[in-house]
Amino acid sequence: MTNYHHIALLLTPAISLWNGQVPKRCQMQYSPSDVWRCYFGYRIYSTLQSPVFVFQWLFDEAQMTADNVGAPVSKPQWDYIHKMGNDLRTSLENVTAVFAPSCISHMVLTKKDWRHVKINKVSLPQALRCWELQVHEHNHHHHHPHHHLYDPMNTEALPRI
């Protein structure tokens, strides 16, 4: 079973159960049986008209678990998570506003220390406030390329949040 087929089998009943809705602009890009693809940010983003601020850990703990990669201790595990971080960073290139710390984690707001995560001395609340005060006309990178906050990826230990 391919990864996409497995994802479709998991998502399709949930979408029906919860009466999930996605923008028409995204729906029109896929056959009715493939609309589940619109539940992935990199596929739906270009179809959105409202401004969006994206928070994403560069090293998603849930994805690492799904891919059967534990806490990095071996070179192949380190190589995997660095590739995952680079791939994720690439997928966010056209996103207008991004806060992407290079930590291994999955949840944000349910963790008590979420306000203390910083990139270049800027916290998530500060980044959100700055973004909130900006004029937002479109959801495309070429309009506001300066709204990217990426944590520089180093090859040393990645903190767990």
Q: Where are the beta strands (DSSP E) in 80-146?
A: 97-100, 104-105, 118-119, 122-123
Q: Would you tell me how many other CB atoms lie within 10 Å of the CB of residue 136?
A: 16
Nearest to 96 by CA among 123, 134, 124, 153: 134
* Residue linked to tokens 């998570």: 81
Considering the domain architecture, whether residues 37 and 56 belong to the same structural domain is answered as no
Q: Which residue has the tokens 């996409």?
A: 4
Asked whether residue 56 falls in the same domain as residue 34, the answer is: no
When divided into structural domains, the chain yields a total of: 2
- Is there a single domain that holds both residue 28 and residue 86? no
The verdict on 56 and 112 lying in the same domain is yes
Q: Is residue 37 located within the same domain as residue 107?
A: no
Kindly state whether residues 107 and 73 are assigned to the same domain.
Answer: yes
**What is the predicted pLDDT for the residue at 159?**
46
Residues with Cβ within 8 Å of 17's Cβ and at least 6 positions away in sequence, in order, are: none
Residue 145 has pLDDT above 80, yes or no: no
Give residues with Cβ within 8 angstroms of 147, minimum separation 6: 96, 97, 98, 131, 134
Statement to judge: residues 114 and 67 lie in one domain: yes
Answer yes or no: is 146 within a domain.
no
pLDDT tens for 71-126 read: 778 898 889 888 988 988 888 888 889 998 887 777 777 777 788 889 999 999 99
List pLDDT tens digits, range 32-69.
Answer: 888 889 988 888 888 988 888 998 888 878 777 777 77
Domain range for 131: 51-135
**62 and 119 in a common domain:** yes
Query: 87-110 b/e with 16+ CB inside 10 Å = b?
Result: ebbeebeebbbbbbbbebbeeeee
Answer yes or no: do 68 and 37 share one domain. no
